[in-house]
Structure formats: structure tokens, C-alpha cells
Amino acid sequence: MAIQWFPGHMTSARKKAAETMERIDMVIEVLDARLPEASCNPMIRELREHRQRPCLKILNKADLADPAATRAWLDFYNAQKNVKAVALSCKKPGDAAKVPGLCAALAPHRGTRLKPLRMMIMGIPNVGKSTLMNALLKRRAAKVGDEPAITKSQQSFDLNESMTLIDTPGLMWPKIEHDSDGLMLAASHAIGRNAVIDEEVATFLADLLLARYPALLTARYSFAVDGMDGPDVIAAIARRRGYLLKGGAPDLEKTALMLLQDYRSGTLGRISLETPHSREAMLEAGKEIQTEM
């Protein structure tokens, strides 16, 4: 299933971000630690590299991600030029408090009263940008919610006398090139529900969990998963939880939503949907398909 989601306000948001990029010193890019590259907007990379702005990549929701996968992603990003990566949970005040110091190290020529450090927070919808903003300001300055694309316009705040923060709307890109990226983003609730079919997203998630985290499925839902595929898992969960329609057929829609919520909330355990290795394999497979065509 090819998923595309680019609400109208994002066109103007991209234009405004390009204009603001001229006046800032660095970018704070918030990613979902469970799918860092799938949640990395190529337009943000293009904008900041065009202006040669350093980037602090925050792998947010690290408390929900597989620690081994997160370590691999940190190594991957920290090997890149002009990039510093850190794994945090922006809901934890102590984690968020580390961000100003990390930013100052990336732009040592700024950060005084005469030359304040100007930072722009960017990222796709629902990765925690506004949560980070509120944690840094220690007040509820930006709207926060469990639905993507809540912030619709830029907001500027003085963090202190020598640092300024600009919060930006969640920004998607017009065409998601890889189907698996769209499915990972949908599973992680970065895409509006009107653009996806929950059962298909949950089936993708179940197949991935079978391949990488079968023990977590068994621990959560109390059945053996040997020989199952994604649809089998969803049907088995429905029967186990009593999610049945009239006549006894499994209620697949209700079960799909429950599986997705168990993943999103961390109830299933610490899960990463991609690693640098799986990402490389996916890209190579895509090249082979293009060659064959």
C-alpha cells in the first residue's frame, strides 16, 4: 500500500521554513528513535545543507525504542558531517535540559547577548517537537496532542538572553518514495488516519514484529506465533481478547487499532522498526527492482 500525506498547509510551511533558514544558526531536527531515517524529511536535509547549517538530530522517544538499534543509529548519524545525534525522551525534563548545551557546542561562534544562538526546531508531525519546546521553556507554549500536524505556524521564543528558539509545523514531503517508510510512519502515528487503512498498517507491523520481536508478541498476547503471518497474528489477538463480530468472526478493525496502540504506547516493549542495516538492505532491494525494470 502506497501512503501519501501532504496537507495543504505544509506547502506554505516549507516556504516559510526556507525563508527562516537564512536567519538561523542551526537546526534541531526531531526524529522518532524507532524509525529515524523513515522519519527524516529529505526536504529538511536539503534546506539546511543548502544554507550549511549544523544539525542536532534528536532521536526522541528513545525510551520506546530498542536500545541496540538506537546505538547503531547514533553511530550512523554522528559519522556525518556537521551533525550531532543524541537519543532522548523529550518528556523527561532532565533529557530536554541537555539540548541547549549540545546546540552551543555546534555553533560556538554564537550564544551571547549581542549574538544570540538562533535555533529552529524541525521535523515531521507527531515526533515531539512541541513537547521539546515546552520542556525547554518550562511552560506550555506550544500545543501538544496525540494527533499529527497540530502546529500550523511558526512560533518564536527567547529561551534565555543568549538563545532563541523557533518552533515550526510538522513538515512532510510531497511523495514518500518507499512504501515501507509510509507504513512505518503510519504505524507510529506520524500520518493522519484519513490517509491510511488501519488493518493494512497493523498487518505490516505484525509481520515486522514476527520477524524481529516474536517473543514480545507472545509475552503480550499469550499465544505461540510459530508459523504465523501478519493476518494470522491479528486474527489470533482478536480471538484471544474476545474482539468478535456477530457470528463469531474476528473484529479485525478493532484489533488492528489495539495492536497499533500497544506499539505506539510502548506496551508491547521497546521496539525499533528499522536499523541502519535494515535500511541499507531495503535501499539495495529497491535498486535491484529498478534495475530489473
Specify the range with the lowest mean pLDDT, choosing from 74-78, 172-176, 182-186, 248-252: 172-176
Stated pTM of the model: 0.90
pLDDT score for 174: 83
With residue 42 as reference, give the H or E element that holds it: helix 42-50
More confident residue, 150 or 246: 246
Q: Which residues pair with 156 in a beta bridge?
A: 166
| Residue spans of beta strands (DSSP E) within the chain | 26-32, 55-60, 83-87, 117-122, 155-160, 163-167
- Which of 120, 92, 124, 123 lies closest to 106 in space, CA to CA? 120
Which of these ranges, 12-16, 106-110, 135-139, 231-235, has the smallest mean pLDDT? 12-16
Can you give the pLDDT at residue 138? Answer: 85
Between residues 143 and 184, which one has the greater pLDDT?
A: 184
Dihedral Cα 210, 212, 214, 217, nearest 10 deg: -80
120 contact partners, CB below 8 Å, separation of at least 6: 17, 20, 21, 24, 26, 27, 28, 165, 166, 168
Inform me whether the pLDDT recorded for 7 exceeds 60: yes
Whole-number pLDDT of residue 148: 45
Q: What is the pLDDT of residues 197-220, one digit of tens each?
A: 899 999 999 999 999 999 999 999
262-276, pLDDT tens digit by residue? 999 999 999 999 999
Map residue 85 onto helix, strand or coil: strand
Give the span between the Cα atoms of 189 and 205, in whole angstroms.
12
Q: Label residue 290 by pLDDT band (50, 70, 90).
A: low
Class of the domain covering 9-167? alpha beta
What is the spatial distance between Cα 89 and Cα 100, in angstroms, rounded to a whole number? Answer: 15
Grid cell in block for residue 163: 538563545
User: Cα–Cα distance between 128 and 90 in angstroms, integer?
Assistant: 7
141 or 246, which is more confident: 246
Same fold yes or no, 9-167 and 197-288? no
Tally of CA atoms within 13 A in the half-sphere of 5 that contains its CB: 25
140 and 151 Cβ atoms separated by less than 8 Å: no
Amino acid at residue number 27: V
Please enumerate in sequence order all residues whose Cβ is within 8 A of that of 227, keeping only pairs 6 or more positions apart, or say none.
Answer: none
**Residue 276 in grid coordinates:** 541502519
pLDDT, tens digit (0-9, with 9 covering 90-100), for 146-197: 444 445 578 888 999 999 999 888 888 888 989 999 999 999 998 877 778 8
Domains in the chain: boundaries: 9-167, 197-288
* Mean pLDDT, residues 216-243 taken together: 97
Per-residue pLDDT band at 288 (split at 50, 70, 90): low
3-class SS of residue 87: strand
Residue 147 CA to residue 139 CA, distance in Å, equals: 20
**In the predicted model, is pLDDT for residue 143 greater than 80?**
no
- What CATH code is assigned to 197-288? 1.10.1580.10
